[in-house]
């Protein structure tokens, strides 16, 4: 089945540690996205990538980093510079950069900082 | 830039009653509109979308939404809800960026709570 996988489902981190969240898609989509979801705030865009080896900052990129070395993969690193990293993180993809059509979402990773 | 407003953070309703979840967006220029549903600790699933054509769009599980350009609204309705419809619902609009790519702008979500 085609889709987006995210791992791990739950992640615990101590303050001061960097952690990397995985996102993989087998939909052959060009564009991929990372969102952060907090209660009552909807989804906020962290980073997006329209094509391999290219990515742009979203609305709340500070304290995060990404890479896009392969079309199928778009990992997100939450660095120690992120002041309040506890949240639910969602990865999504679309066919291409100019697609106004819907985004397909992964199941999410819940990050908790202890 | 576009913005999306979902005025109701939570809507409680009894099973088999009708429901309307409200969504308003800021600009009516070339809009593409979406409703997504999110069950607890899961990702978002597309419920329905408006791209063009008929202003009334329907989902396979009985939801419908009507694109109203004059009122810049895209309210979601269901004539009779089930317990299984309990979830969070997000309205979203596709906003075109300067580089001709598109960005989804999400509302803050409405939690639908269906009671027996």
DSSP letters, B6-28, are: ---SEEEEETT--EEE--EES--
Q: How confident is the model at residue B104 (pLDDT cuts 50, 70, 90)?
A: confident
Q: Does the beta-carbon distance from A40 to B108 stay under 8 Å?
A: yes
pLDDT tens digits for range B46-101 = 999 998 888 888 898 899 999 998 899 999 999 999 999 999 999 999 877 777 77
* DSSP 8-state symbol, A97: T
Inter-residue contact B55 to B68 (CB < 8 Å): yes
Give the residue numbers in B contacting A (CB under 8 Å), as ranges: 9, 32, 34, 36, 41-46, 49, 51, 90, 94, 96, 99-104, 106-109
Which parts of chain A register pLDDT below 50? none
**pLDDT number for residue A40:** 76
Q: What is the structure's pLDDT at A1?
A: 64
Residue A79 CA, distance from chain mean position: 13
DSSP structural state of residue B59: -
Largest CA distance in chain B: 49
Beta strands (DSSP E) in B15-99 are 19-21, 24-25, 33-38, 44-50, 56-58, 64-68, 73-78, 87-96
The answer, for A105 touching chain B at a CB cutoff of 8 Å, is yes
């Amino acid at each position: 089945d085609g889709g987006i996988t995210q791992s791990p489902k739950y992640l615990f981190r101590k303050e001061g540690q960097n952690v990397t969240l995985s996102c993989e898609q087998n939909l052959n989509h060009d564009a991929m996205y990372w969102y952060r979801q907090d209660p009552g705030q909807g989804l906020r865009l962290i980073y997006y990538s329209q094509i391999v080896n290219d990515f742009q900052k979203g609305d709340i990129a500070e304290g995060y980093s990404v890479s896009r070395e392969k079309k199928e993969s778009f990992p997100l690193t939450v660095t120690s510079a992120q002041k309040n990293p506890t949240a639910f993180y969602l990865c999504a993809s679309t066919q291409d950069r100019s697609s106004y059509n819907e985004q397909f979402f992964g199941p999410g990773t819940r990050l908790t900082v202890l | 830039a576009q913005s999306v407003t979902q005025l109701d953070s939570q809507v409680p309703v009894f099973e088999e009653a009708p429901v309307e979840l409200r969504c308003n967006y800021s600009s009516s220029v070339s809009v593409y509109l979406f409703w997504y549903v999110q069950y607890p600790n899961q990702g978002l699933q597309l419920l329905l979308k408006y791209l063009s054509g008929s202003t009334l769009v329907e989902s396979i599980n009985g939801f419908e939404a009507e694109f109203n350009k004059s009122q810049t609204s895209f309210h979601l309705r269901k004539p009779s809800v089930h317990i299984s419809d309990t979830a969070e619902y997000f309205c979203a609009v596709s906003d075109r960026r300067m580089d001709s790519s598109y960005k989804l702008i999400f509302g803050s979500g409405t939690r639908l709570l269906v009671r027996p």
